[in-house]
């Protein structure tokens, strides 16, 4: 049955994957449902659509973007590559394994520009509220057209939520932080290391944001960085200038007090304390309630909302895999909506969710988390025609990346990997990452940097 209507909220990598999944079906000559996608920003790309703004966007909405200047991929691009659109197809040449943000944005756009996806997307439009109308089995969604400042509503048989979950800060309070005299911000508002040159920084949290912001600030000239951890230190061998300490207990002026009894003075504090899954447009009964983990409770196959099977969430997991995982989810969601994949009774779905959650609970190390997500994607792929790829090899690259970071956090981005999609071996970037201060697409694609040319 295809005479139904699908609403997609968000045109980031997840929402775009959903559009692409339907497009691939259409290209085969098969009928597809009526689709509409709504994006609150003026362009697609989600997090990868960089903004200099903080706080609110140009229409006064809570700002989505958490990315910053000088952000380079924090994992090998070979692990996130689309199976149906390779980096080599896009750039026409081999590139390095850890491209900067603008290069990845270009790649995301490359695939979607080849489709008619833009025709389906209404930009500058925010989903405000959703009701489920039981007797019609439809969602009523209230939107605001931000440019026209007008409210309207639409009805859908299926609703796909692809609004991301690294946007609403988790901001814990630490006694005395309200009187800290320097800058205090969450990683969500960090827009680059420039303002912290010559400063002594305290980062709270010990995951990806803390690790990368510490290294970025070190690279761009901060004096000293302390990372304060709650549960576990990151534990890599840090260069002189970055160190880890147990959790800060409180502040007095610009002095931070730590659990181990030590104190230190700082110029600025950055809370790298993660994000909340936040769906202000969903009522409690339709809301996914989860912390950041590999298998959120209540999602069958990590995608279908178990309490209302017409509601779909994409990209809600913590992420080792990104773009190709969103694809496999979108392909699954498409075939689910088209009635092509088995959909057992609720008790069986509950049991399936529990199995995955028990599996996640049994994992501890980074390598085990990688294996978990690899198995999850293998399961999803087995239901659809998303092009199969060598996931075991991708898992090996992830584990090697984890080791590279442990060995040398400052140069892991100089390592190169080989695509499992088309066999292309990555080319080292023309400049070692620690010396490369320009993250623009133009500079990145230069064959040799100017200084080298002069020497030739
Ligand atoms: P998002 O990219 O967050 O997109 C969600 C979209 O939904 C946005 O466009 C938003 O405007 C829209 N939206 C939200 N609410 C509404 C609403 N109510 N109405 C309409 N539209 C709405 N991944 C990697 O693979 N490599 C990296 O190096 C990497 N680095 C990262 C660094 C940072 C700082 C962060 C925060 C994330 C990073 N990620 C990285 C992960 C990144 O989140 C994913 O790559 C990807 O962007 C997730 O796609 P998504 O579509 O699920 O969500
Ligand atoms: P994560 O990976 O969810 O990590 C959040 C970190 O914040 C983690 O180390 C937490 O410590 C820490 N945290 C959370 N609450 C507190 C409090 N109250 N006090 C101290 N520390 C706390 O978020 P990230 O921002 O690092 O990464 C998210 C994405 O952004 C990721 O995909 C990157 O690519 C970019 P815990 O270990 O739970 O004790």
**CB atoms < 10 A from the CB of 151, how many?**
11
Mutate to test the pocket of ligand 1, among 76, 164, 286, 296 (most ligand atoms within 8 A of CB): 164
**Tokens found for residue 403:** 């080791």
Average pLDDT by consecutive 10-residue portion of the chain (456 residues)? Answer: 92 98 96 97 97 96 97 98 98 97 98 94 98 98 98 98 98 98 98 97 98 98 98 96 98 98 98 98 98 98 98 98 98 98 97 98 98 98 98 98 96 98 98 96 79 50
Determine the CATH number of domain 5-167+275-399: 3.50.50.60
Q: Does residue 314 contact residue 321 with C-beta atoms inside 8 Å? A: no
**Tokens found for residue 398:** 């992830």
Q: Is any atom of ligand 2 closer than 6 Å to the C-beta of 209?
A: yes
CA distances 321 to 68, 113, 345, Å, are 21, 23, 29
172 CA: nearest ligand 2 atom: 18
**Tokens found for residue 224:** 């000293």
Residue of the nearest CA to atom 26 in ligand 1? 73
pTM of the model: 0.97
Structure letter (DSSP) for residue 387: P
Q: Which among 318, 416, 326 has a CA at the least distance from the CA of 360?
A: 318
**Tokens found for residue 22:** 């339907």
Domain residue ranges of the chain, discontinuous segments joined by +? 5-167+275-399, 171-271
Q: Ligand 2 mean position to 206 CA, how many Å? A: 6
**Tokens found for residue 318:** 């913590």
Q: Is any atom of ligand 2 closer than 6 Å to the C-beta of 187?
A: yes
Q: Is 162 exposed, middle or buried (0-12, 13-18, 19+ CB in 10 A)?
A: buried
**Tokens found for residue 417:** 């990997």
User: What pLDDT does 453 receive?
Assistant: 52
Q: Is any atom of ligand 2 closer than 6 Å to the C-beta of 199?
A: no
316 CA: nearest ligand 1 atom: 52
The set of residues, in sequence order, having a beta carbon less than 8 Å from that of 62 and lying 6+ positions away, is: 55, 56, 167, 168
79 CA: nearest ligand 1 atom: 25
User: What pLDDT does 338 receive?
Assistant: 97
Q: Is any atom of ligand 2 closer than 6 Å to the C-beta of 74?
A: yes
Q: Ligand 2 mean position to 161 CA, how many Å? A: 23
Residue of the nearest CA to atom 52 in ligand 1? 164
Edge-first strand listing for the sheet containing 263-265: 248-252, 255-258, 263-265
Tokens 């259409």 locate to 26
Q: Is any atom of ligand 1 closer than 6 Å to the C-beta of 99?
A: no
- Fold that domain 171-271 belongs to in CATH: FAD/NAD(P)-binding domain (3.50.50)
Rounded to whole angstroms, how far apart are CA atoms 75 and 212? 11
User: What pLDDT does 2 receive?
Assistant: 80
Does 171-271 match 5-167+275-399 at the fold level? yes
Q: Is any atom of ligand 2 closer than 6 Å to the C-beta of 204?
A: yes
């Amino acid at each position: 049955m295809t005479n139904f209507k699908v609403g997609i909220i968000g045109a980031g990598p997840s929402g775009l994957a959903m559009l692409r999944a339907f497009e691939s079906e259409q290209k085969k000559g098969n009928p597809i449902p009526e689709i509409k996608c709504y994006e609150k920003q003026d362009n697609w790309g989600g997090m990868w659509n960089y903004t200099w703004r903080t706080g609110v966007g140009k229409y006064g909405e809570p700002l989505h973007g958490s990315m910053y200047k000088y952000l380079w991929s924090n994992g090998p691009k070979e692990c996130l590559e689309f199976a149906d659109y390779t980096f080599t197809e896009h750039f026409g040449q081999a590139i390095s394994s850890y491209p900067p943000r603008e290069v990845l944005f270009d790649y995301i756009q490359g695939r979607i520009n080849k489709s008619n996806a833009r025709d389906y997307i209404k930009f500058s439009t925010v989903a405000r509220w959703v009701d489920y109308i039981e007797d019609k089995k439809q969602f009523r969604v209230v939107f605001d057209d931000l440019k026209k400042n007008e409210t309207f509503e639409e009805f859908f048989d299926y609703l796909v939520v692809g609004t991301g979950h690294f946007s609403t800060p988790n901001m814990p309070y630490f006694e005395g932080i309200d009187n800290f005299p320097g800058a205090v911000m969450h990683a969500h508002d960090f827009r680059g290391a420039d303002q912290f040159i010559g400063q002594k920084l305290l980062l709270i949290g010990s995951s990806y944001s803390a690790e990368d912001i510490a290294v970025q600030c070190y690279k761009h000239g901060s004096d000293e960085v302390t990372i304060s951890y709650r549960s576990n230190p990151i534990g890599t061998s840090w260069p002189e200038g970055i160190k880890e300490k147990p959790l800060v207990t409180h502040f007095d002026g610009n002095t931070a007090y730590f659990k181990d009894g030590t104190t230190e003075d700082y110029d600025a504090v950055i809370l790298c304390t993660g994000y909340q899954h936040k769906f202000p447009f969903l009522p409690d009964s339709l809301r996914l309630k989860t912390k950041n983990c590999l298998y959120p409770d209540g999602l069958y196959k990590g995608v279908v909302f178990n309490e209302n099977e017409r509601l779909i969430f994409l990209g809600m997991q913590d992420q080792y895999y990104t773009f190709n995982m969103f694809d496999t989810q979108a392909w699954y969601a498409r075939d689910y909506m088209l009635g092509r994949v088995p959909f057992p009774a609720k008790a069986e779905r509950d049991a399936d969710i529990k199995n995955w959650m028990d599996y996640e609970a049994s994992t501890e190390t980074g390598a085990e988390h990688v294996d978990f997500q690899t198995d999850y994607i293998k399961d999803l792929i087995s239901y659809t025609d998303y092009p199969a790829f060598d996931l075991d090899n991708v898992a090996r690259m992830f584990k090697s990346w984890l080791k590279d970071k442990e060995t040398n956090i400052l140069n892991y981005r100089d390592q190169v990997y080989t695509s499992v999609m088309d066999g292309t071996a990555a080319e080292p970037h023309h400049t070692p990452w620690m010396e490369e201060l320009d993250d623009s697409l133009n500079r990145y694609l230069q064959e040799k940097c100017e200084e080298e040319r002069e020497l030739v």
